[in-house]
Structure 1
């Protein structure tokens, strides 16, 4: 499971981040607790945790791997929702395509479209 901390000042902001992931990947969370929320995205598990400690100012270097179908559509949706391009979709080999974006919370999401897996 990949764990991503979401810097937030209150529960409302964390809920907005959870909603962003739900809409971005058209997938509801399968666990919703006050301290974390979990998703299954194309065979990968992703957990979001609120980070409320102001002392923990550190750069976001986490990368989450997300299995998707139709990488171009998902990539464009994420960009339209405020993510930034890190690497446009490209063929990694065979039928496998990848792309990378930085979500509005500072994490890099590596999108993987592998027909033999997702």
Structure 2
């Protein structure tokens, strides 16, 4: 299913953030490694990125797609700037980041299976 199903939160202290978001969501993470911690809450995925930089400007919404490479090309052809090329954060989930013409950052995800409905 296409849409915004993933939110990635910058988490330089991954262990502290994991504890905080586990308490907040009342769930255990479905993905845990040194590069990423992910929680699945119904049809929404909350990810913790230890390489992200916290910002008072907010967090990055992620758009789910079935073909991340193709969508990045389309967005670049329509005024977007690819900030990071696709990389695997675990379990086959690919993510990338783009900025829109105004400079707003949008994340893109591609799951190995269709995103939950």
TM-score when scaled to structure 2?
A: 0.47
TM-score computed with the length of structure 1 as normaliser: 0.46
Q: Which of the pair has the greater relative contact order for Cα pairs under 8 Å at 6+ separation?
A: 2
